């Protein structure tokens, strides 16, 4: 059921919302789910579901399984899929060893916002990756200027 993703398309205004959310959540890791479609190797972000990091940790995140289930049901009802999992890091925008494990089980786009300087959290630091065919590859983030 999963697809290889080369590009994930997201609105610039949504990137701003993710940055604002991460500022609000700091110093804990922030997390969110993206609902959209995957056509060919291109994924969309039609809607962002901001989640609570129930770990309340600055080195890990967990999403309430009940919330996750609700998001899956919502996507299915709208004939869509979960295209991405977003979270922030207190360091660089690269997957941690724990992320790698979860990425293997959830082969969607993983969008990571590294926070090297809490006073300067910026959307340009977002990177996307996918676990595909036994390796991690970078996914291009295509920004729509709306």
DSSP alpha helices (H): ranges in the chain?
Answer: 12-25, 65-77, 97-105
Identify which of 97, 94, 71, 66 has the alpha carbon closest to the alpha carbon of residue 84.
71
40-48, 73-81, 97-105, 123-131 -> range binding Zn ion (CB under 5 A): 97-105
Peptide bond into 146 cis (omega under 30): no
Part of the chain binding Zn ion (CB under 5 A), chosen from 3-11, 17-25, 96-104, 121-129? 96-104
Residues 12-41 that bind Zn ion (CB under 5 A): none
- Asked if 96 interacts with Zn ion (CB under 5 A), we say yes
Least distance from Zn ion to the Cβ atom of residue 104, Å: 14
Minimum distance, C-beta of residue 145 to Zn ion, in the bound complex (Å) = 28
End-to-end CA distance of the chain: 30
- CB closer to Zn ion, 44 vs 129: 129
**Is 99 a residue that touches Zn ion (CB under 5 A)?**
yes
Measured between alpha carbons, how far is residue 55 from residues 16, 35, 39, 128 in Å?
Answer: 24, 23, 34, 22
Query: Interface residues with Zn ion (CB under 5 A)?
Result: 96, 99
């Amino acid at each position: 059921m999963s697809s290889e993703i080369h590009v994930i398309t997201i609105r610039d205004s949504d990137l701003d919302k993710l940055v604002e959310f991460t500022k609000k959540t700091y110093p804990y890791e922030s997390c969110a789910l993206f609902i959209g479609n995957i056509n060919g190797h291109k994924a969309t972000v039609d809607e962002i579901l901001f989640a609570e990091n129930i770990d309340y940790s600055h080195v890990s995140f967990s999403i309430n399984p009940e919330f996750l289930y609700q998001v899956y049901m919502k996507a299915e009802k709208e004939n869509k899929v979960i295209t991405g999992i977003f979270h922030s890091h207190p360091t660089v925008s690269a997957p941690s060893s724990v992320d790698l494990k979860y990425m293997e089980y959830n082969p969607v786009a993983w969008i990571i916002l590294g926070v090297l300087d809490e006073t300067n959290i910026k959307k340009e630091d977002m990177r996307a990756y996918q676990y595909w065919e036994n390796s991690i590859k970078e996914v291009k983030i295509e920004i729509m200027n709306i």
